[in-house]
Structure 1
């Protein structure tokens, strides 16, 4: 599971520096508003995973949907099909090529993860938030898991005009994963069936 200036000199630089705290506070407020007001959402995504050496990269794409609390669906379509579904009780991962699925209780699988950040219900209970400098035309906020068992060093969320645009994850090994979202829709009416997983015929199931 996917990677995200210089201040002007003189008087212009002083003005910009004075304005930055307000802009950064807006990014934190945008994440808080997202967690509070956006109860469901859907978007296309492209995920780029960069190895710790900063050179090797892998890219995939698909569709993301969520409904609070703790229901989400990542449907990867390229370069291969994979489905990750949380139904509020369990998280299911299905690999179409292997025709194999695995499941875990959501309390074990979610924790302080990117999925919990986007679709969970306890933002500031699980994360410490800090505004970051604007980059790539986005306002960024960093969310550091409070749990030392999360396996994630930091998560950064990017907003464009208050709308979710990107998510960057750095894990404990230095691997970076970035998801860029497009065609985001806030609060769509998503049927409960979207977050239910039915084991395909003949598929193997590994329960943890």
Structure 2
């Protein structure tokens, strides 16, 4: 359970941090321009995770909600219910089945993850990543860390009509996680309470900040 929790936090949390702009390439400039148009984002997702041999090891469905700056709500509905919230300073992973909450410092949790670019515009971080347009796909971008010492080695994001429709990550074990989004709502105000962690008093709290 602990390993599964850390993997989920490692994947989802990277979706919510910073971009940087040092010597930005044309591809990076185009990507940032597209991302700057996304202030709020909500969509249903279908996630498929495959191992290095191409075997499907996990599938999940749920709802992803993003808001600038640095806020995320990741609700998994199946196969098991869970909730991950990044509120801008901390990441809260709430597991109703285990009645447990894990809390991490958000800045430390997303360090060197290339998916940390969807809800912020911190110029000092861009220099840590390279961005290139996927071959033959002008609306798809490949993002990789300059120093691949983190858990995630590659991110691919795909847009249609300036909406994020697909996201893929490859980790250090060559495990690939693909997310396809549907029923997308963009720049529709979301309630601030969605990014507040609430749970029963009987939950076990593991605060790692």
TM-score by length of structure 2 reads: 0.79
Gaps of 5+ in 2: 1-7, 12-25
Q: Which moved further from structure 2: 66-75 or 192-201?
A: 192-201
Contact 1:131 1:140 in 2 (8 A): yes
SS at match of 1:116: coil
Cα pair distance change 1:57/1:30, threshold 3 Å: farther
Q: Could you give the per-residue CA deviations for residues 113-157 of structure 1, whole angstroms, max 9, x where no partner exists? A: 36522223337344311001246xx83110112354421110000
CA distance in structure 2 between the partners assigned to 1:159 and 1:40 by the alignment = 15
SS at match of 1:155: strand
CA distance in structure 1 between the partners assigned to 2:151 and 2:116 by the alignment = 14
CA distance in structure 2 between the partners assigned to 1:73 and 1:115 by the alignment = 15
Alignment map for 1:54-133 (pairs within 5 Å)? 54-113=54-113, 116-122=116-122, 124-133=126-135
Contact 2:72 2:85 in 1 (8 A): yes
Q: Could you give the per-residue CA deviations for residues 143-190 of structure 1, whole angstroms, max 9, x where no partner exists? A: 112354421110000112322110000001100000101111111111
Contact 2:114 2:144 in 1 (8 A): no
User: What is the number of residues matched between the two proteins?
Assistant: 183
Gaps of 5+ in 1: 3-24
SS at match of 1:193: helix
CA distance in structure 2 between the partners assigned to 1:198 and 1:125 by the alignment = 36
Alignment map for 1:3-82 (pairs within 5 Å)? 31-82=31-82
Higher share in helix: 1
RMSD: 2.1
CA distance in structure 2 between the partners assigned to 1:139 and 1:37 by the alignment = 14
CA distance in structure 2 between the partners assigned to 1:180 and 1:101 by the alignment = 27
Cα pair distance change 1:153/1:115, threshold 3 Å: closer
Contact 2:114 2:143 in 1 (8 A): no
TM-score by length of structure 1 reads: 0.79
CA distance in structure 2 between the partners assigned to 1:173 and 1:108 by the alignment = 21
Match of residue 18 from structure 2: none
